Amino acid sequence: MVCSGRAYQELAQEIVDLLGVELVPQRALTYANSEVYVRFEESVRGADTFVIQSHPAPVNEWLMEQLIMIDALKRASAARITAVVPFYPYARQDKKHAGREPISARLVADLFKVAGAHRIMSIDLHAEQIQGFFDGPVDHLMGLPVLVRYVKEHYALDNMTVVSPDAGRVRLTDKWSDALGAPLAIIHKRRDPNKANEVAVGEVIGDVSGRTCLLVDDMIDTAGTICKAAEALMEHGATRVIAAATHAVLSGKATQRLNEAPFEEVIVTNSLPVPDTMAIPKLTVISVAPLIAAAIKAVFEDGSVASLFNSPSPFDQPRLPFG
């Protein structure tokens, strides 16, 4: 049985359409004092349940709603509960950078466990060690094959360089480099510790002159890092710049920055909702619903989620529905 929070029901509907099932009917509302109420209107006793919730702003509201949904399923005697979290909230707070700081990503994992989740399913965690924060199975899905397939279909690879926007994303960029058979470059980034979400780009390490540069990251939030990186690449002789990221957070001045930056195209997935009012003509959104649906099917049938990445086309719709 598949349930959906209210944050992004369009993605959940796309997933259940692929699976050939219906969303569990529920009554969900927010009281005047901002408290959340959820009641499932169908028995879930003994069911293998999947609770889908994206976490756009306001993150805290949607996180609390998902926790309440999980608690309701636990108290209704669901046999197994999987929290499907395409974009893991607080993932960037995965370690202490200074004294007296929280490790909020660990706290979120603890909250899921206490609420009653037996399993977490997420896409492209900001830090892979978050998998160890949860006391239970974590299915860490990869958006890279979905994005790589699009890049291969729309761009020539013989003159492409894959670029990491900062040193922290080199490991991800290396995977892209292997997948595309393209060389790698790195942008050295300095961040002002006294100003949140503000960066200063340093030097470009690698050959980008006369080449198509693909900037890759796990998310685009305020877009400051990736836009400054695009400008640096053009200043170093790149002929064109495209960007690819799994999670389109797009907060603050992201729309303005992306529209003003020298990108030919910005490729993201729909792990988070991208409102129609967010006018970014160069933005391309690719659905991860087939990926999530295939993973749900594998978990439900006690199959291998890892095997989804061993096939050249693991996300094709003929793998579904259940039967």
- Confidence band (pLDDT; 50, 70, 90) for 321? very low
For residues 200-214, one letter each, b for 16 or more C-beta atoms within 10 angstroms of the residue's C-beta and e for the rest, the string is ebeebebebeebbbb
Co-location of 131 and 238 in the same domain? no
196 and 255 share a domain?
A: yes
Residues 50 and 109 in one domain: yes
Convert the pLDDT of each residue in 90-146 to its tens digit.
Answer: 999 999 999 999 999 999 999 999 999 999 999 999 999 999 999 999 999 999 999
- Domain check: are 244 and 302 in the same one? no
* Burial 168-183, CB ≥16 within 10 A → b, else e: ebeebbeebbebbebe
Q: Are residues 115 and 237 in the same domain?
A: no
Residues belonging to the active site = 189
CATH number where 53 lies: 3.40.50.2020
Q: Say how far apart CA 170 and CA 185 lie, in whole Å.
A: 9
| Residue 313 reports pLDDT greater than 60 | no
166, pLDDT greater than 70: yes
The owner of tokens 């349940």 is 49
What range defines the domain where residue 126 resides? 2-142+288-319
Check pLDDT > 70 for residue 86: yes
Q: Verify that 98 and 208 share a domain, yes or no.
A: no
| Domain co-membership, 81 together with 169 | no
Banded pLDDT at 196 (limits 50, 70, 90):
low
Using one digit for the tens of pLDDT, what is the confidence trace for 7-64? 999 999 999 999 999 999 999 999 999 999 999 999 999 999 999 999 999 999 999 9
pLDDT at 170: 92
Q: Does residue 33 share a domain with residue 94?
A: yes
Beta strands in the chain (DSSP E): 2-4, 26-30, 36-40, 48-52, 80-85, 119-123, 138-141, 160-164, 184-191, 199-205, 212-220, 240-248, 263-269, 283-286
Q: Are residues 90 and 123 in the same domain?
A: yes
Q: Does residue 275 register a pLDDT over 90?
A: no
pLDDT, position 199:
55
* Number of domains the chain contains: 2
pLDDT tens, position by position, 206-261: 999 999 999 999 999 999 999 999 999 999 999 999 999 999 999 999 999 999 99
311 shares a domain with 194:
no
166 alpha-carbon distance from chain centroid: 19
Helix/strand/coil percentages in the chain, nearest 5: 35, 25, 40
Q: Are residues 55 and 91 in the same domain?
A: yes
Same domain, 115 and 164: no
